[in-house]
Structure 1
């Protein structure tokens, strides 16, 4: 793969710019990672302070490579983070990965995540030559389930190890 993938991977769509996460996103990351509506479907410790958010951001920045692609979702022409989307858990042959995403509640229901996900899926397919993308979502997270189905992900019947509340979806590109 091209060594410049991380530096040249700003993605844009009609309304959105997907850019690298930066330390200036700390307040928005705190808001995102401490939100009870978002966290009720995620198995993670909520951020409690700007310092927690900065630690998360630094960890992402330190670990971004050809094994992790992480974008801040913003409206084109604005810099305020509305959510995040990432590709991770690449298979050893790099033909498969997982997608994850989260969006602040005030931006949900506007097609923002569908628009962002389409750009990331195209990037995965064209630039990374990924053939399969998987997603895990909580069985009660209807918004995520609907989004994945809209993006042509197929629900799989196999159980997710260690967590019976998660459903696995797969997109074959």
Structure 2
């Protein structure tokens, strides 16, 4: 039996951010974010309909963390503790050398460099602490801000790779 690499939960910090475990107290912020038309514009998912759906999502996500299947962080501002978004590593390969990242940010915090800071931190964690060899990111081909972020950090387009069932997505990856 393998040990859970996410126990204890890894709290990550950057110059401006604290990445922490998602809490049941985040239910209102997660409801607002995951029901936002701006946040969901390029994500093929049904928006969260009410607070109970947000609470169920938090419970499911934290259960997956407890099982060592994936890890999701709440992105918060270090100085105020304000919840501004989510970032994760999930969809690990069987040998746990490849993982997928996903991220979303509340619209009020777009364009301020926060996701660049959070993603750099999560990549460092994935490569240095989890010994990942490759991290992938799937994004809608029209999501120019996400594409620019991935390219700025050094992700490379996996031309020809297809996200089955999501024809508008393109796949990028970065390797150690």
Same fold (TM over 0.5): yes
Find runs of 4+ consecutive structure 1 residues off by over 3 angstroms.
Answer: 1-4
CA distance in 2, matches of 1:27, 1:5: 25
Residue 72 of structure 2 aligns with which residue? 70
> For the Cα contact (< 8 Å) 2:9–2:21, is it kept in 1?
no
Q: Aligned-pair distance for 1:8?
A: 3.9
Q: Which residue in 1 is equivalent to 2:118?
A: 116
C-alpha offsets along residues 57-81 of structure 1, whole Å, 9 cap, x if unaligned?
1111111133201000001132221
1:167 and 2:151 matched: no
Equivalent in the alignment of 1:144: 146
Alignment of 1:79-118 (within 5 A): 79-118=81-120
Whole-Å Cα distance in 1 between the matches of residues 9 and 104 of structure 2? 23
Q: Does the alignment pair 1:26 with 2:21?
A: no
Distance in 2 (alpha carbons) for counterparts of 1:122 and 1:131: 11
1:39-78 aligned within 5 A? 39-64=40-65, 65-78=67-80
1:30-85 CA distance string (max 9 Å, x none) = 11100001112111110121111111111111111332010000011322210000
- Considering only aligned residues, what root-mean-square deviation do their CA atoms show, in Å? 1.3
Equivalent pairs, count: 173
* 1:126 alignment partner in structure 2: 128
Shift of 1:3: 3.9
Unaligned residue ranges in structure 1 (runs of 5+): none
Q: Secondary structure at the match of 1:146?
A: helix
- Please, what TM-score do these two structures have when normalized by structure 2? 0.94
Q: CA contact under 8 A between 1:6 and 1:69: conserved in structure 2?
A: no
Would the aligned equivalents of 1:16 and 1:74 in 2 still touch at CA under 8 Å? yes
Where do 5+ consecutive residues of structure 2 fail to align? none
